[in-house]
Amino acid sequence: MKTRTNYYKDLSADYSKPELVTSDVAKKLINDAENYVAKKEKILPQIDSYYTLQQIEQENKEWWPTHCEALRQGRGDILTHEYRNDLVYLCQDGPYYGLEQQKLREQHWWALIAQPGVIMCWPIVIFHGEFTYFEWKCVDDETNETIAKGNVTWVRRGHRGACYLKTEQLTFYRDVFAPEKLLNLITTT
């Protein structure tokens, strides 16, 4: 039998459980997230001896906890900037091409998974070069029910490249479209 893995042992914060990080850690991660999205280059950088897969994987590991915190805080402005303008997003509602096609639909998803009384966690995250695979679920704080879950693969070329391909399978158990009051909680650009 394969040994169990703590996927967060070398990361700056652990988002594997439905538990909040400290406010100081959350602030630092949001600040880091804003810095990472500012490094995105207009043209997707080449993988070469100056920007290696090893460096890209390390940057993806640095980025990962910032992504989790941005989702928990409903920071749609940061989440949108994590994508390239020519994003390809493959999921059961898609495909979506570019940032405009998925914007309305994904805003509903963000509102549902970041709603008050629900906490999102990512029990599994695996990195390989520019690939980041993860499984997530949202747990109701009061009832402990899973209200949504899914698995995702991001192809992210580190801080300089951002995400250019995303595939996702998601299941919502309680709601599919967020009510207006939840949509208003999502920060937009």
Contact 185, 108 (CB under 8 A): no
Count CB atoms within 10 A of the CB of residue 166. 22
Query: Per-residue pLDDT tens for 13-67?
Result: 999 999 999 999 999 999 999 999 999 999 999 999 999 999 999 999 999 999 9
CATH fold of the domain at 23-183: Nuclear Transport Factor 2; Chain: A, (3.10.450)
81 band by pLDDT with thresholds 50, 70 and 90: very high
Residues constituting the chain: 189
Q: Which tokens is 146 given?
A: 């899973």
Quote the CA–CA distance of 11 and 64 in Å, as a whole number.
Answer: 8
Decide: residue 64, CB within 10 A, 0-12 exposed, 13-18 middle, 19+ buried: buried
> What is the chain's mean pLDDT, rounded?
92
Quote the CA–CA distance of 65 and 121 in Å, as a whole number.
Answer: 11
Q: Does residue 92 have a pLDDT over 90?
A: no
pTM: 0.89
Count CB atoms within 10 A of the CB of residue 112. 22
Sequence spans of domains, the chain: 23-183
Max Cα distance, the chain (Å): 51
